[in-house]
Amino acid sequence: MLTPVTRAGIAAAAVACCVLGSLGFAPAADAASSPSGATQAPTGEVVVVAGTAESVAARATAAVAAMSLSERAASVIMGHISTTDPGVLRDYVSSTGVGGFILMGANIPGSEDRLREITAALTVDPAVPPLLGIDQEGGDVSRLPWDDFPSSVTLKNEPPEATELAFAGRGALVQRAGISVNFGIVADITDDTSMFIYRRALGTTPESGASHVAAAVVGEEPEALSTLKHFPGHGAAPGDSHRGIPSTTETYDQWRQTDAVPFAAGIEAGAPLLMFGHLVYTSIDEKPATLSSEWHRIAREDLGFDGVAITDDLGMLEASGLREYQDPVSNAVAALAAGNDMLLSVLGTNSQTAAELTAGIVAAVESGALPAERLDEAAVRVMTLRLQTAGAGRGLVPCSSCAPAA
CA 129 to chain centre: 14
Residues facing 247 on adjacent strands? 280
Cβ-proximal residues to 66 (8 Å cutoff; 6+ apart), any chain: none
301-338 tens-digit pLDDT:
999 999 999 999 999 999 999 999 999 999 999 999 99
Identify the CATH class of 7-391: alpha beta
Looking at residue 54, its pLDDT comes to 83
pTM: 0.87
- CA–CA dist 252, 297 (Å, integer): 13
Are 341 and 378 contacting, i.e. CB atoms less than 8 angstroms apart? yes
pLDDT in tens, 115-140: 999 999 999 999 999 999 999 999 99
Average pLDDT of the segment spanning 84-103: 98
Calculate what percentage of the chain has a pLDDT beyond 90: 80
Residue type, 281: Y
**Could you give the CA distance from residue 7 to residue 259 in angstroms, rounded to a whole number?**
28
Kindly indicate the confidence band of residue 1, based on its pLDDT and cuts at 50, 70 and 90.
very low
Q: Tell me if residue 405 falls in helix, strand or coil.
A: coil
The arithmetic mean of pLDDT across residues 68-72, rounded, is 98
20 band by pLDDT with thresholds 50, 70 and 90: very low
Give the C-alpha separation, 301 to 298, whole Å.
5
Q: According to the model, what pLDDT value does residue 113 have?
A: 96
